[in-house]
Amino acid sequence: MTSHEPFGGSLSLASRHALVCGASAGIGHAAALALASLGAQVTVLARRADKLAEMLPRLREAGAAGAQCVVADLDDRSRFEPAIRTLLAEHGAVHILVNNSGGPAPGAVLDSGAGHFDAGFARVLYAAQAMVLACLPGMRAAGFGRIVNVLSTSAREPIPGLGVGNTVRAAMAGWSKTLSRELPPGVTINNILPGYTATERLQELAALTAQKTGRSIPDIEAEWKREIPEGRLAEPREIGQVIAFLCTPAAGYVRGQSLAVDGGRMRSL
């Protein structure tokens, strides 16, 4: 076989349907555009209907085979689960699932009650489990499935000020590794661990740190950058492109991994 493509077409996602959660901004937004550029049909899910509507023409311009949106809140399973069933009935099986959600509110573990942990696990882990159970039959039938969970480097190295988030992300990594042993051949699951990325979430963390320490936000950001060998924050598109690669046929033998995309900041192996 001859091809001008270096991977012989194995990066193409033509005929595949991707569902990207938390897609109205940041990493989810970037991942949806990256998947569209590889020819996937892309469904974007988030709470903000206006932001999702703005995305649809951009997805088509990027190369998506089709584009639609689901307005849903991952904190409300009684509403988002029926919305996913409707999506599957109207637009066919989902072959690619990107589990991405806003993290729990910042704060120390000692300042967090049971309700904070309940809410964090519901938004991140329980919602992901429900999504997998809904989408897996279509993946199994197609003999192809990709599940990518957007976590954080805090799954390995806790980040100060994100007590509940650190806990939930680590639990999510354990859940994912367990699933990697249970999913059928051809259906993979992996985690992306973004480092400090220029998103709304990072701005929130910087503001909280500034409030607690009395330091300026530029000073806090400068300190973060000094910890990163690349010397800068990540752009969301850089994370989105790695997510998209893990969803391609080329990445079919990558399974059960937690891949840090952090500019080399983490010190652990």
Same domain, 182 and 129: yes
H helices present in the chain, as ranges: 26-37, 49-62, 77-91, 114-121, 127-142, 163-180, 200-213, 217-226, 236-246
**Residue 122: how many other CB atoms lie within 10 Å:** 16
Burial classification of residue 159, based on how many CB atoms lie within 10 Å of its CB (0-12 exposed, 13-18 middle, 19 or more buried): middle
* Helix or strand (DSSP H, E) at 259: strand 258-261
Phi, psi of 195 (to 5 degrees): -85, -155
What total of structural domains would you count in the chain?
2
SS3 call for 221: helix
Q: According to the model, what pLDDT value does residue 6 have?
A: 66
**Is 139 found in the same domain as 210?**
no
List the strands of the sheet with 17-21, edge to edge.
66-71, 41-46, 17-21, 96-99, 145-150, 187-194, 258-261
Query: Within this chain, do residues 65 and 162 fall inside the same structural domain, yes or no?
Result: yes
- Whether the per-residue pLDDT at 161 is higher than 70: the answer is yes
Q: Residue 237 carries which side chain, given as an amino acid letter?
A: R
Q: How far apart are CA 169 and CA 151, in angstroms?
A: 6
CATH at 187: 3.40.50.720
Q: Is residue 3 part of a domain?
A: no
**Res 1: pLDDT:** 38
52 and 166 together in one domain? yes
Structure tokens at 125: 């882990």
Assess whether 57 and 122 both reside in one domain.
Answer: yes
| Residue 160 confidence (pLDDT) | 86
Residue 201 has pLDDT above 90, yes or no: no
Task: For residue 267, tell me if it sits in a domain.
Answer: no
Q: Domain of 228? A: 198-233
pLDDT tens digits for 71-107? Answer: 999 999 999 999 999 999 999 999 999 999 988 888 8
What is the share, in percent, of the chain residues with pLDDT greater than 90? 87
143 in the same domain as 223: no
Note the pLDDT of residue 106: 86
Q: What is the pTM of this model?
A: 0.94
Please tell me the distance from the alpha carbon of residue 105 to that of residue 220, in angstroms, as a whole number. Answer: 19
Is the same domain home to 26 and 55? yes
CB 130 within 8 A of CB 94: no
Judgement on whether residues 63 and 186 belong to the same structural domain of the protein: yes
For the chain, the average pLDDT equals 94
> Of the candidates 96, 43, 123, 108, which has an alpha carbon nearest to the alpha carbon of residue 247?
96
pLDDT on residue 180: 98
- 52 and 85, same structural domain? yes
Q: Tell whether the model's pLDDT for residue 39 goes beyond 60.
A: yes
Domain-located, residue 215: yes
